[in-house]
Amino acid sequence: MSPRANSISLVFILLGGLVLLFLTAPLVGMVLQSSIPGIMAALHDQEVRGSIVLSLWTAMAATFISGIGAVPLAWLLARKDFPGKRVVSAVIDLPLMIPHSAAGIALLTILSRHGVLGQLAQSAGIKLVGGPAGIMAAMAFVSLPFLINSARTGFESVDVRLEKTAMNLGASLVSTFFTVTLPLAWRAVVSGIVLMFGRGMSEFGAVIMVAYHPITTPVLIYERFGAYGLKWARPVAIVLIGVCLAVFVLLRVVADKRR
């Protein structure tokens, strides 16, 4: 390797190190400034444990239910040209750009008992505002772009000729999708699922607008900080980060085994 290439590599290492330092320093500092008894107390706090369980299962449910429609939509965007495709892509990316408090207000407009979906849900006996279904809707709204865009990139990377070959050999479009396209794009789809789940679980702004109670962990951290200060909020944040890390490592391990 030439001296110039070595210099460029060194610059990249230094820049990358600064980014990693920026990402890890706040987390490490938070852990170092917290006491073990405080963290253990948060682990044994029933309210904290209940909020974590609620955050986990609602994020999982939102990801699974939304994924049923998100993955086919990603395939359509990757494979089909149709009028208004750019508008559809812009609408999908919109939740990434608007403030999540504004997203919560927008959701509240249709999920409240005076909204269209709220009235339909109320007639079916489902509580949206102030219920787990509303939490899932808020999580899905802000996190769906991660799954759709990641899956779309994966489908676009699959050679169309492989799909045409399968269909020329007699496979249907559905069979080709599940036996050729999806297996080849599986890694990108799984990455999108992980990103969507993580983003949904950490959502605060939209969730607090739609359902302050039952209380998710991000909302609980905000409530503890507002009521008692940093000393009481920090252990809960550490517990949540630890749970997120464990879940993400588990998902990555499962994804690697699948690959």
| C-alpha to C-alpha distance for 225 and 234, rounded to whole angstroms | 8
Residues near 134 by beta carbon (within 8 Å), at least 6 away in sequence: 107, 111, 127, 128, 210, 211
Query: Residue 219, exposed/middle/buried by CB under 10 A (0-12, 13-18, 19+)?
Result: buried
Fold classification of 36-258 (topology level): MetI-like fold (1.10.3720)
The SS3 call for residue 85 is helix
Query: How many Å apart are CA 236 and CA 240, to the nearest integer?
Result: 6
In the chain, domain spans: 36-258
Q: How do the pLDDT tens digits run along the chain, 259 residues long? A: 666 667 888 889 999 999 999 988 988 888 888 888 888 999 899 999 999 999 999 999 999 999 999 999 999 999 999 999 999 999 999 998 999 899 999 999 998 888 888 888 888 888 888 899 999 999 999 999 999 999 999 999 999 999 999 998 888 989 999 999 999 999 899 889 999 999 999 999 999 999 888 999 999 999 999 998 988 999 999 999 998 888 888 877 776 665 5
pTM beyond 0.85: yes
Q: What angle do CA 29, 197, 188 make, to 5 degrees?
A: 105
- 185/151 Cα distance (integer angstroms): 7
